[in-house]
Structure 1
């Protein structure tokens, strides 16, 4: 036998040293096959909030929550361990009510030379923070799902799942959408477009998209969504699915379209000019520009007083006029104004302070139509024959 030969005693000593080293870093407890604690190391004692000597002799069932200890699954655990099966599980640890911890345990039955299970070793890992983080994330997801429409897709656009809010929004059942492609919600023209293919390619590459999207529900019904498409990354940092969170903005979209239509109609039929609260010109439509004979670059940034006589522009009445508009007061009537080259213009108009969401004026919009010819006719008729 050479000097390099390892004796049985040396091998046992090395193995014992390795086990002790592992025991110092891991939470470990040993049990009789009936679940009675034989011994526990300091790390395990710290998990349960008691000293090792206090734990020794206790039943494992007293270390866990009563709800878990009384289940059939718990009884089956010890039956399987006594039969020699290795197991891994998670359970809620509760020692003398002092702490509430979740641990993930690996259970290893130890057999004697005759093959009988003589004890069970538990190696435990504290997963409480992970459990709490997971519960927090799950709670947030449930809150979002209760308030928003949520649908999940594979990276190719195949529908994986959808919540009730989304299904009500598009008018389908879950069975009618799962396994279908997202293109069922878009027009045939859009589905065949390069932009649509690029959209899914970008999502598959990990890019997210947000905005307003026109979609098609059951029966061709138009639906507008304010939505975010979120690629979900795996542990390798690569996307593996896409989750879409959406809010129905169809009513607001239709109302806004109606509003824009009305504004467009006003712009086609009336002269419109906008001012800041100090009276500086922001913009004007073509009808107004034709009425006063200017081009927009000639008036933008200048003051409203350019359309007034110098005497009126310097008057207290004129200053009060703009002070009232800044205060949110509306003004309307027939006004004498000057166009390009001093041309007399008479307009029937209203000055309308525009309020922000807090009710404060932010600008003034003037709607007007030219009554110059009518005024001239009135003036002629008023002259004595």
Structure 2
């Protein structure tokens, strides 16, 4: 090979070497960034657990560890939180303390949230969770409960009443999603549930992105009302951004539309009384499309709205929620404690049955 040919060959190889070097440098930098993110996520998750230790008891049901709290005496009342939440949501709202003055209150960390586990051996749709919680309640000697669900928890409450109609006495449904409608958050928030890729995201960048968008999401779920000071200061957001709760939340986001579709075909079967409550300004789940529509589909229901409230009605109007619980008890012929305080019913719009 003459000198000119050798020069041409080296000239062709040099860009390829540079491209390979740049690619390797980029991969090393990306790997280092992911490792740093994973370390930060692990530290924040451990700190969150240290700052928020289990507040209740543990039980094992059908191979699943469940964390729950129980307070008060009397008629059983079960509270089911929404997607991406935990027991503390009801605690911070003040609803548990209010209800425990009248009822025996049982609140679960649903599977995958808080300190409850979520095995990967089954799909955790509303019916699967309802079956698990029904068994758990039986083990706790809970009979004929009133079941209150908020947001995603309303689908589990409805599944309990549909699948165990002789067990559930009445329902209180807060800010629920009941019919299949288009949601931009489904494709955006579902990827952490994807096997392998989702595992990588949940242990690295997804918790950090979640923390960045938390202020916007917080405002959206309370809008048009301001975020309550207690929620802002006390809700342990990093407990929900741990990898395992993120998987549960992403999976439930992915299941949201098909779950609502399947349940909506069974609403005509529901026979237990239900009180439906929602904020009239909810921008997260449209109240007219969902809560008002459900009221028309349920012959044994009452529908109430909280004026100028958004999705988090239990934080914005806990006493109105208590009035709805008392009404659900009365509709089922159950003792309702002290009932509705004078003037309390004037704080919401009442649409009857």
- The TM-score bracket by the shorter chain reads under 0.3
More helix by share: 2
Bigger relative contact order, structure 1 or 2 (CA pairs below 8 A, ≥6 apart):
2
- When Rg is computed on C-alpha atoms for both structures, the one with the higher figure is 1
More strand by share: 1
